[in-house]
Structure 1
Amino acid sequence: MHHPYRLLLPFLLFACLTGSAVFASPGGDTTQPGIPDTSKLPPDSIGMHLLRACRDLREQGDYMASLEKGLQALQIFRQTGNRIKEASTDRNLAQLYQFMGEQNSNPDYIRQGLNYARTSLDLCVAAADTAGMVASNNTWGVIYRSMALINLDQPYWYDSAMACYNKALATISPSGKGKGVTAPLYNNISQVYSEGKKDYPAALHYLDMAVRIAMAEHSLDDLSHDYGNISAVYQKMGDKKKSLEYAYKTLDMARQIGTANRLINAYCQLYNSYDHFGKADSAFKYYFIFDNMRDSMASLAATKQISDAQTKYETEKKQALIADLNGRNSRQQKRIALLLTGLAVVVLFFVGLFVLFKRGQRQKRLISTQAGQLEVMMKELHHRVKNNLQIISSLLSLQSYRLKDDEALEAIRLSQQRVQAMSFIHQRLYSTDQARMVNMQEYLQDLTRSLVMAYGYTEQTLDLQVEIARQWLDIDKALPLGLIANEITTNALKYAFKDGQRPALYIGLAEDGEHLLFTVKDNGRGWDMKRWEQPGASFGRTLVETLCRQLKATQNLTYHNGSIFAFAIPKDNTYAG
């Protein structure tokens, strides 16, 4: 029988060794739709070519190039006064920021998308463009739904989204203007019923109407969205067969379309379905593909370029406004110049102080620039370390294929888990604004959930509680604590739960005066304390002892309705590694 992850290994090694995302476009501009010779085209035609390029590049996942084309098109349509095309461009930019905000859980991007959607709707109302008003209200609703996804404690965003969708449906003209948005509207309404109202039959009702329209119009893109949402609804209803059936239909549609965004959504839905129904191997396979594609579209460089492009556009717009104001106020400037001449003597008095001030400012800017470069380099370093750790894990997996001895296979598996524990740290460091601080709640949850899934448990078969009072911790403390949690949790999952009762794990990190208190507890049958306390009893024990010495920590093992490992770490200790 072939190992389920064997097909993924070439994919992994290629992605990590090239230092770039597997699904990213090659260098140059070969993936961007070409813009013809603009010297022979009127401005509006150039703008339309740029707008089409903006749409295509967004679906391919090249957000930086999409943003540049969209801003160029927007500038042209504003200059020519084509308000309908300007509104269409604003909608595309709104959707672009919605994609980026949802994939990166960044509310600032989504708020930027709301601004563009609001501008698009205002332009359509002013131009009496019915179809544009329908599309703009739909886009506005989609962005509100994205805000609900990344702000789970604010469910009222779903109500705002539903209000936009209903307004869009009411705006559709009896003559047919705006009717082309009906299928996406039904699809989007189904998400409100499924995610916000938990009314799954109603969600399937709207999805059925959306599928019928999409089939009649032969719209593969709409069908891809519809099938993905149908799979998600059946997943919530507990129907494994139909959830996986529509998840694979989603992947089939995405492959026919061939765009990165649709493929990412398809692989994510397959992972969610398999994970929900406890199929750990298949879930891991599709999560790995999804995670690599998502990483390729969320690099630090791309994020910085997007910010720079938006800043450049806003700067050019402000410069044009300044130039216009300068032309209107030229006489005022002349009067100001005469006053400045009269103050020249006073200015000379401050020249010396100004020179000293400028020297200090230059030094300050230099320090700030170097600090920013160092932060970017640190994030890139963490990204590469994470990729290299994935290579090591893959090589260990390749090595395990040749081994027949159970003890050797188990040693390889434990080594992979230790490498994964370190990989989680570096993944969090490069994907946040913190270069050295780790969110322990998220890190320990990711680590323990991956171990629980690896040993065949699910949320339905094992009670897992992670309770963290000290949220942020320096990497010098976070990494040893993660490895300690990995060792103890692994042993508990392997040996503790043998007596048939419902297994439970508790991991806690609290503060007590001058110490951090780290606790790992299970409700299993208990450990052999004499064997654990015997020097050199196992590699795991040796590793935990070494990590405790590095942290200058004390450890204590007790048994009360299960095993309790307690560690006390001085807050102001110097890392001894």
Structure 2
Amino acid sequence: MRFISIGCVVFVLTFTSAGAQDRKLDSLRRAVQTEQAAGNRYRTSFSLSHIGFYYNSLKRDDSAFYYYKLSLSPRFKSANDTLNASSLNALGTLLQRKGMLDSAIYYFSDALYLYQQHGKRGNAMAVEINLAMVYKEIGLYEEALDTLLNALDYLERRPPGAYLIIGYNTQGNICLKTRDYQDALVSFNNAVHAARAAGIDAYIAPLLNNKGETFLRLHRYDSALSCLIRAENIKRNARDTKALGKTLNLLGETYMALGDERRATSLLQEALAIHTAADSRIDEIIVLHNLIELQLRQRRYAEAGELLDRAERLARAGRAPDYLRQLLEQRLALYRAMHPNDLTVKIVEELLMVKDSLLNKDKAQSLQALNIQYKTRQNLEQLAKMGQEAIQHQQWINRLIGLAMGVTIVVIVIYLLYRSSQQNKRKAETLFKELNHRVKNNLQILSSVLSLQSQNVKDEDALLAIKSSESRVNAMALIHKKLYRDDNNRTIDMKEYVEELGDFLVHTYGFTTDRLQLRIQCDAVSIDVDKAIPIGLILNELVSNALKYAYDKHPAPALEIRLQEPRAGEVRIDVRDNGVGMGPQKTREGSGSFGLKMVNMLIKELKGKVDVETQAGTAYRIVLPL
């Protein structure tokens, strides 16, 4: 349950009467006309967004949306990206509230990009939490957690405050959605600790509510009751009647699970009265659903029918299809209980099973399409960010890295096209032969250019960027070199490949056999080129990271690389160094450098598993199916 939403907060206004509101609006409109006449685009855009916030504070979403959009129109848009990002974030919040989640994501993403471009990390963090909430609502839980971890990485390094509490709470709610209940408890506990450390007691009761719901889903009813009763006491003492209704509903559901139907009925009826008085229709439907379930258990079918009629009217009037579906399922259960031998019930149940299966399939396809769409956008933004960082060093470095990335993408695209044409074996073999010939030559030329260029570079960051690009290109070039030797063979001798790659990387990063103890142990494994390329890139990144970062002032550096086939159809890769190690935060999926993100992506694509140890150095253990 999300108990706080984060919107765009730019101005703080207080409106005490309708007359004061009208005077404020007239003042803002005159300011727009004055600044527009003076040609001050910043002040004009500022005043328009101010009017948007004014309407937003009055819950007049359509008017707020109009003025925020007007402040970003070509006629009025300011050159101040921070002001524009604030309006974009506000538009995303309005669209999220309207349920237009796809559009909300695009506005939040644009706001996030502008804040990041200008180093506004605090503002960017707030937008990341907004984005995580939207991803959670549409079912993209992996993206939600990935985005939220970026915000928490920033927040955890600062004194605890409201945003950290909200971040942990959102993380817990995502885990509730994915049924990762133990992780949800950890997040909610972190939120409680942060609230107490920050001295913000207002968050304690909602967090206890969320913990109680988590314990309820885990069937740990004693713990659920402990949390929910504490939340109830806090809300009753604070006279927070509206929030009290949600706690009472969860308490009623808990007592219902424990078989105490008398107490469950009393609590649910009190919760229903609170939500009815507040005209909170969705909460009212949720409580009615529990009461109907209670009546069905007690075989009080007439009372269950009356409650169903009431709940269905609310669900239809409020256009709440998910809740209406649950109520119709209860209607079917009521009819089945009253007519146990009716053949119609069995036919309807079978029809619903088939329909649910089809709907789930459509939903999965839809979510997959959205997933691809959002990942593509995120990748483009990441590439743009990398380009900006490279420009800050030197212009020509940006062109070299762009060229390396471009060649990599072209190789992967051509390779994927090759895989799709395997049905025509003769044509595929011809294409593959020509591909290897051309790619080998292009990659060798590019590797040579990067190697020559690195000799003239003094900036350490630029030199590392060039060497990273050179090692990635070389990792692919080695494979194509081996394929070109034997036109009729699609497999790579990994023992020979790993030894060559290891020697190349050690030499590239300035190590010698006297300074670095390199141990390579590989079984005689031959791997198809489809998997040899991504495995080569994974090895390249892990070994390069060790050589670049692990051995700063280390007296006896050692690096061990193993590639073994413990059983048929499976390969295990171990890369271990005895260096300074990595923090646990850096080993999370999606964290760290572009190279580590690429490693995680390739392991996922290969359907593999990875385990990382960060004690006494860093050790990666990767298991991949062949």
Assess same fold via TM > 0.5: no
TM-score, normalised relative to structure 2? 0.39
The one of the two structures with greater contact order (alpha-carbon pairs below 8 A, sep at least 6) is 1
